[in-house]
Structures are given as C-alpha cells and as structure tokens.
Amino acid sequence: MGAACVALSMAEKAAFAQEIRRGGTLRIGLGSAGAKSSLNPLVSTGDMDFAVSQAIYDRLTDFDAKGQLYNNLAEEFSHNHTGDVWKIKLRSGIVWHDGSPFNADDVVYTLQYALNPDTKADAYSSLQPFLRADEVKALDPTTVAITLTRPYALLPEILGSKVMSIIKNGTTSFDLPVGTGPFKFNSWERGQRVSLVRSDSFRQAGKPYLDGVEYIAINDATARMNALSAGQVDAIAQLDASLAGIISANPALKLLQSKSSATTDQYMMVNKKPFDDVRVRQAFRLMIDRKQLVGNALSGYGAIGNDLHCITDPDYATSLPQREYDPDQAKALLRKAGYDNELSVQFYAADAAPGMLSSATLIANQAKKIGVKLELVVVPPDSYYAGPNFKNTPIACSDWGQHTLESQFTQGYARNAYWNEPDWTNDAFDEWVSKARTTFKDEERRSYYAEAQKILWNEGAYIIWGFRDLLDATSSKVQGIEPSTQRNLGYYRFESVYFA
C-alpha cells in the first residue's frame, strides 16, 4: 500500500513536471509597514518587507517546510572538539544579481554588519553573546573561519534564523538591493508596491518559473480577501481565520493552511501576587478550557498547546502528558495556596495579535467559573508593548512567532532578557539549556531539552493554550506553494511557483 502511494506520487510529479508553464507575474496582496518600509533584510519591519527579502536574498542555512534545518548557501560546517572554532565551507558557482560571484567576503561582511550595534540589525542580540566582529575571517573564497567566545553547538541553527540573510560585501545602501535569490529587484513605491523580476542566474537551473512577482500593500484583512475574489491579486497572505470558510466555499480559490509555532499566549508575573506562588500558576493553567479557546479565538484553525512553546521544533517535549481542563483541581490548588475567597486580578490585553482579545475575554469568563475575577485592562494595539502596564500587570497577553527552542529560550526565558515577560528564572532550567547548546550529540540535546521543558511544564509562568495555523489563500491557478511552518505563503519562497 505504501509503495503504491509512493509510486503514484512520483508519477504525479512526472506529470506535473511536463505541465509546468513558465511565465506570468504573481501578484500578492499583504500587509505593509507603510512609511517605515525598508529593503534592508537585516532589519525586520513588516510582512511585505520580509516577503520581498525572501525572494531577493538567501541565508547560509534555512528551515524547510517541515521545520528541518538544511544547508543553503553553506555547503558544510565543521568545528573543533570543544565547539568554539568553526569553519564554514560555502557553495561555489553562486552569483549575485549584479553578476559578481558570491564568496566568503560577503559572509564576513554580513556578520560584521550584524554585529555592529549602529546598524540596528535584528541579529545583533542573538549573535553578540558569543561572537565578536573581529573573529570572523575569510580564509579563502569558499571558507569562512569563526572563533566564538564560548562553545556553541547551535551555530548553524542561528545562521538560519529569519534575520540572517546574506548581503553583498560593501553594501551600505539598500535602495537597489542585490541578492542571490530567485528574483531580483525591479522597482518599488515605499510602503505600497514592490516589483521583482526573475533572476536568470539563480543557482537552481530552470527556476524560477515566473517572470516576476509583485507585492501590493493591502492592510485590511477583508479588503485582501475582496481583492483576491475579484482577481485583483493572485495570492494573499495572512488570511483571517474567520474568513477561511468563504475561501473554502469558492472553487476558484484555494486555502493554504500549515501548522506553526505562532501562539497568542498569556503570562503570569512571578514577582507579583498571586503568581509568586507556583500553585496559583498551576491552578490558572488548569482552569482554562483549551479546546474552547482554540475553537473560539482561532476559529478552530490551530493546535492545542501544553503550556510549552515551539510545538514545531523537532525537540519539542511530546512525551509530556497533555494538560487537561480541570477546574476542580484548580480550585483545590487555589485553596491550598490560601485563596479561598474570590481572587481578583488585573489582566492586561489588547487587539495586538490574532485571537489575543478574544482569548483574553474567554479566559476571563472561564476564570469566573471557579470564582476568580479577572479585570480586563484593554489598550489600543499600538500602545500595548510600550505602555506602562507592560510587565507591570500581574497577568497579561503576549504573542510569539515561529522560533526554535534555542531562540525562544534565549529571547524569552533567559535571566534578565527583556522579553522574559514573566521575569521567570530557574537555575536548573538554565543548566539544562546551557548543556543543550553545547553538546553536539543530537540525542543528548534532545534529553536536555526534555528536562528543561519538564521544569517549564511544572513551574513555568506561561499559559500556552494553542498554536495558530498559518492561513493564506490563492487563486486555484497558482501552483507550487508548499505550506511551511516557518511563515505564510510557503515561507514566501516562489522559485517553484507557476500558473496552471
């Protein structure tokens, strides 16, 4: 049965290969950063800018649709025994859009650019803890030598993060961006439209199939859907879950759906009452009805969470039992912690992410059932993270995108990290994470991560009730977009896309 399936898909693939029509321009409607749009791939500004950078640039390593790391511009990584001296062998024969050859100098320049605090590159905070700009050298055109300040086994993974696109040696201005990706820059109207054309020097022979891609800014979710239905665009990114039914019902349109680690979660500040008591944190995690939250706040387009981040990471602790809705146990724990009578806590929220406000309202309702009163403090979305209530209110909402366990732990769980929203610290946890990032044995790392996540599961400060699926829509004529856990619209990579 399995063999027959494989044979069928290979035949299908052969048939498709004959049917691929080259040409056409893919028009995509998506949200834009408006006036603060920029073509600099190392500074993240918004969806449109990220999507554009995905077509123009490449990284040394990258994550495929299932979340597995693979070598991209890099061919091979080697390191010394302790893991602090690394050599990266680069692929040869790759050309920049302006015709010059890609070599080690470009990689050195990019890393030094990112490590320069004046450039405000996003990668600075993740590279700076273990890398100095003068310790990155080009040994020959295809070899980069890196000496880290401490052993770090996850260097290839960090080089695959979204903000690590490789730019050309000597780049100071991004007005005419030059990359190694499948499409090259044609023109743009800041914040409104970007036009790219096929790069004929792309390293995958025969690709891309499209003549070009056009990105059109449409910030309103309903307007995006209207534009797609009317044929003004061929694809839209970030479809609202509530509109998914309309797309499915229309035979001329296709719904793209993929699992992801994007989550709109809640956190409890461990240095504020009542959440300084771990029993109260456990109680709150038991009093929420996860199924109802996913069905309501995500319109069913999501997966149930187990109070642990990064469900799509290969080392996510699937062995831990799924926490269930248990209001009685929650009440018992609150009583043991001394909160017999009505507990009243302020709950900070905003409409700052898909499902944030609806999940907050729902949780407040669920809390009422066990006699807990959550007073919602709501502010406008653009003031949410900057306002005085951020990291001040005992319990609040938050929003995390696709991360690996390592990047999640570095940004959100490290002692003193700004984005350690609940101010949660645990020595044993830090130990396990430190072990995980310095071992080269995958099995060992997996077990260390499992121990670390067990601690989070028991004593952590996050309520992670679900992960939202990434939803997009295209015209049914658009083929070749493979839904990816990383980002919308197949991680915005279009080298294999064609019109049927």
Partner 1 sequence: MRNPLLKLIVTRILLAIGTLLIVSAVVFWATNFLPGNAARAALGAHADPTAVKALTQEFGLDRPLVQQYGSWIAGVLRGDFGRSIPSGIPVWETIGSKATNTLVLTLAALSLMIPLSLVLGIVAALRKDSFVDHLISIPTLIAVALPEFVIGTILTVVFAVWLALLPPVSLLDPSRPMWKQANVFVLPVLTLLGTTLAQVIRMVRAVTLDVLNAEFIYMVRLKGIRPSRILLRHVLPNVLSPTIQTIALNAAWLAGGVVVTEAVFQMPGIGSALADAVVNRDIPTVLAISMIITTAYILINLTSEVLILLLNPKLRV
Where do contacts with partner 1 occur on this chain (CB under 8 A)? 29, 34-38, 44-45, 117, 120, 124-125, 187, 189-193, 216, 218-220, 223-224, 226-227, 229-230, 232-233, 352, 379, 382-388, 399, 411, 418-419
Is the CB of 232 or the CB of 425 nearer to partner 1? 232
Q: Cα-Cα-Cα-Cα dihedral of 101, 105, 106, 109, to 10°? A: -160
Give min distance, CB of 428 to partner 1, in A.
Answer: 27
Take residue 114 and report the two structure tokens written for it.
């990112």
Helix (H, G, I), strand (E, B) or coil at 132: strand
Is the CB of 31 or the CB of 466 nearer to partner 1? 31
Give min distance, CB of 451 to partner 1, in A.
Answer: 27
Is residue 421 within 8 Å of 396, Cβ to Cβ? yes
Q: How far apart are CA 217 and CA 29, in angstroms?
A: 6
Q: How far apart are CA 242 and CA 246, in angstroms?
A: 9
Give min distance, CB of 360 to partner 1, in A.
Answer: 17
Give min distance, CB of 210 to partner 1, in A.
Answer: 19
Take residue 156 and report the two structure tokens written for it.
């290839």
Is the CB of 194 or the CB of 255 nearer to partner 1? 194
Does an H or E element contain 334, and which?
helix 327-336
Is the CB of 218 or the CB of 294 nearer to partner 1? 218
Give min distance, CB of 46 to partner 1, in A.
Answer: 8
Is the CB of 197 or the CB of 216 nearer to partner 1? 216
Q: How far apart are CA 208 and CA 214, in angstroms?
A: 14
Give min distance, CB of 303 to partner 1, in A.
Answer: 22
Tell me how far CA of residue 172 lies from CA of 45, 178, 307, 416, in angstroms. Answer: 18, 11, 43, 33
Furthest CA-CA distance within the chain: 72
DSSP per-residue codes, 246-288: HHHH-TTEEEEEE----B--EEE-TTSTTTTSHHHHHHHHHHS
Is the CB of 201 or the CB of 232 nearer to partner 1? 232
Name the one residue in this structure whose structure tokens are 């003068």: 134
Q: How far apart are CA 208 and CA 65, in angstroms?
A: 18
Give min distance, CB of 51 to partner 1, in A.
Answer: 16
Is the CB of 118 or the CB of 200 nearer to partner 1? 118
